[in-house]
Amino acid sequence: MGMAIGIDLGTSNCTAAIYRKGKIESIPIEGRKILPSVVSCKDDGRILVGGAAKSRLYIDPENTVASSKRFIGDPGKVYHIQHKTLTPVDIAQEILQKIKQEASSYLGEEVTDAVITIPAYFTEEQREATKKAGERAGLNVLRLLAEPTAAAIAYGLDKERNQTIMVYDLGGGTFDVSILKVENNSFKVIAVDGDAMLGGDDVDELIVQHLLNKIKTAAGSNQSVQGSLSLQRIKEAAEEAKKELSESDVVDISLPDIFGIHIEEELDIEIFNHMIEPLLHRTIHKIEEVLQSAGLTKREISRVILVGGSTRMKAVQEAVTEQIKKPYIADNVDEVVAYGAAIMAANLSVPDLDSTPVPIIVEEVTAHSFGVDMIDTSDHRLKVFHLIKKNTRLPCTGATIGSTLRPYQPSIRAGVFRTESIMPAEEAKLGELHLPVSIRPYHVSVVSLFELDEDGILTFSTAEIAKGSPLLSSYRKNKEVDLQLLHSMIHQGEIVPQKIVIDTKKTEV
Ligand code: AMP
């Protein structure tokens, strides 16, 4: 086996690290610790990744893609650059290929394996797409590890004490909050929450809107503020201003010759903080929810760790201090996630535990609940019955038994949902299961299995159950599937589940 590394595949930037000879090392990519998550295509079809691509954001924004992690797993998203059609998976693949190449040449040995980090709140589609990108880049993906979990591992928390840790992770495009119990070398996630569409990009967008309003006022409402080059310059200025406000209380934004006018704008921290308050509020609300799901009060949190570039904003640190307690901020905020991934990679790639320098146990949970719709016999309404509940430890299985409603019925249908609610809302629907069954003069029963693996990737399988099966009688008695019995019947070959693909009516990612 070649080398195993940890990769933080961020919305804005990526970092890579390796654990070897008893210590953690950052792996430089093109001589830098950070690789911008940007891909650009030149006129001649050549693809650039990282810093070179990022600088083309201003010269050739139409053929340059940034922040595409926000769309990974979204089957509808494609980029048309230089006659090529690229999906977010293709973009991630290019980035990962670059990391693999650079890391292999830096380490002097081929990198074959990787632990790739993902937001804890990523859905199975987003996880699957990330894993696919890794595999297409020629990496054996040892594990997808949640970024907050990786951060908690990397902080190398006091080994003697038992602690309950909250990780608040606000990056470029995503927000995650996790609560972990750390005991000696075991890291158990007990609850996660987050928002896959909330991050520093949204903060930039607020400043952009603020600047566009100023421009419109200065230039008159007839002025068209179109043109991606100028917009890109405003975006760049907005991000710079935001970063400066993490250091000082006021920033001067200067945009000479933008849409034909000259903009000089002073932005002070109070106005900025007021502007971003609704975004911060959303993160605070998630903190409250995650505490509630963990069954903890804020006093029971022993340490809060901040991760992600956007936690450098003063308002974030103040809000966290006010809500929970003064957070711990690492010096190497950009690298901690890759460090945790590297420690995990070392653990998973060294088969002999004695030679693993830092044996750790990691348990993660699912960030979402899954279920199928069925008629509730008490009120005859269609409801979602949850088979896997949010915050269940991974890997996990959920199962239900359905039956045909009339003799000779050829198949059973069920809607599959990812939702916390019992209402079968269309937007929460993952797809439909159509399960063909043997055509019989009596009711035929089928067991459907939902399995989430360690990476949080979902598979469905189904099997017909013979009449008079003990699984059926126990289900009738207890109203739930006896998973232990089911597993043992599968093990003994009495039930043979077939993997099925749900009809999501979506195209391939
Ligand atoms: P990450 O995905 O963790 O690399 O975070 C990237 C996000 O952090 C981007 O939205 C950056 O604009 C933001 N960021 C980086 N440095 C700072 C800073 N000093 N102050 C505020 N935001 C920052």
Using one digit for the tens of pLDDT, what is the confidence trace for 460-492? Answer: 888 999 999 999 999 999 989 999 999 999 999
- Tokens 């006896």 correspond to 482
Find out whether 482 and 475 touch, Cβ atoms under 8 Å.
Answer: yes
Distance separating alpha carbons of residues 153 and 305, to the nearest angstrom: 11
pLDDT at 185 over 90: no
Residues within a 6 A CB radius of ligand 1: 10-13, 171-172, 199-201, 239, 242-243, 246, 308-310, 312-313
The closest residue, in CA terms, to atom 3 on ligand 1 is 308
**Candidates 310, 313, 329: which one to mutate for ligand 1, based on the most atoms within 8 Å of Cβ?**
310
Residue indicated by tokens 């207890």: 478
Q: Between β-strands 175-183 and 186-195, what pairing exists: parallel, antiparallel or unpaired?
A: antiparallel
- In whole angstroms, give the CA distance from residue 124 to residue 146: 13
User: How large is the average pLDDT for residues 357-361?
Assistant: 78
Residues 243 and 192: beta-carbon distance below 8 Å: no
Q: Which amino acid is at 98?
A: K
The catalytic position among 69, 98, 132, 429 is 69
Distance 148 CA to ligand 1 centre (A): 16
Q: Which residue reads 């990330």 in tokens?
A: 130
Confidence of residue 224 (pLDDT cuts 50, 70, 90): low
Task: State yes or no: pLDDT of 159 exceeds 60.
Answer: no
Average pLDDT, integer, range 261-287: 95
Please name each of the domains of the chain with its CATH number: 3-198+277-363 (3.30.420.40), 200-274 (3.90.640.10), 370-499 (2.60.34.10)
pLDDT of 33 over the 80 cut: yes
Coil vs helix vs strand at 193: strand
Q: How confident is the model at residue 509 (pLDDT cuts 50, 70, 90)?
A: very low
Supply the DSSP symbol for 73. T
Catalytic residue among 90, 102, 125, 169: 169
Q: What is the DSSP letter of 308?
A: S
Distance separating alpha carbons of residues 306 and 316, to the nearest angstrom: 9
Q: Are 177 and 168 in contact (CB under 8 A)?
A: yes
pLDDT digits (tens, 9 = 90+) for 400-411: 998 888 999 999
Does 453 participate in catalysis according to the annotation?
Answer: no
Q: What pLDDT, on a 0 to 100 scale, did the predictor assign at position 507?
A: 35
Q: Which distant-in-sequence residues (6+ apart) come within 8 Å of 395 by Cβ?
A: 451, 452, 453, 454
- The residue whose CB lies within 8 Å of the most ligand 1 atoms, and thus the one to mutate among 7, 8, 12, 118, is 12
Ranges 72-81, 105-114, 160-169: which has the least confidence: 160-169
The answer on pLDDT for 316 being more than 90 is yes
For residue 282, what is the enclosing H or E element?
Answer: helix 269-294
274 contact partners, CB below 8 Å, separation of at least 6:
none
391 secondary structure, DSSP code? T
Q: At what angle do helices 336-349 and 147-154 cross, to 10 degrees?
A: 90
What 3-state DSSP class applies to 153? helix
* Residue 169 known to be catalytic: yes
Residue 241 clears pLDDT 50, i.e. is over it: yes
pLDDT at 384: 94
Tokens at 328, concatenated: 């711990």
How much is the pTM? 0.90
**Ligand 1 centroid from CA 221, angstroms:** 33
| Ligand 1 atom with the shortest distance to the CA of 170 | 3
**What's the pLDDT score for residue 193?**
94
| Residue at token pair 């100023």 | 214
506 carries an active-site annotation:
no
Is the predicted pLDDT of residue 157 greater than 70, yes or no?
no
Residue 85 in tokens: 């059609």
Report, as an integer, the average pLDDT of 415-437. Answer: 91
Active-site residue flag, 455: no
pLDDT at residue 158 greater than cutoff 70 = no
Instruction: Report the DSSP pairing between strands 186-195 and 361-363.
Output: parallel
Please name the helix (run of DSSP H) or strand (run of DSSP E) that holds residue 450, with its range, or none.
strand 445-452
For 385-403, how does the pLDDT look when each residue is reduced to its tens digit (9 = 90+)?
999 999 999 999 999 998 8
Ligand 1 atom having least distance to the Cα of 34: 4
Confidence of residue 232 (pLDDT cuts 50, 70, 90): confident
Please give the full DSSP string across 51-63, using - where no structure is assigned: HHHHHHHHH-GGG
pLDDT score of 435: 83
pLDDT value for 508: 35
Average pLDDT over residues 216-236: 77
Q: What pLDDT does 500 receive? A: 78
- Give the mean pLDDT of the chain: 91
Q: How many CB atoms are located within 10 Å of the residue 457 CB?
A: 17
Out of 74, 90, 128, 147, pick the active-site residue.
Answer: 147
What pLDDT digit, counting tens, does each position of 327-346 carry?
998 778 889 999 999 999 99
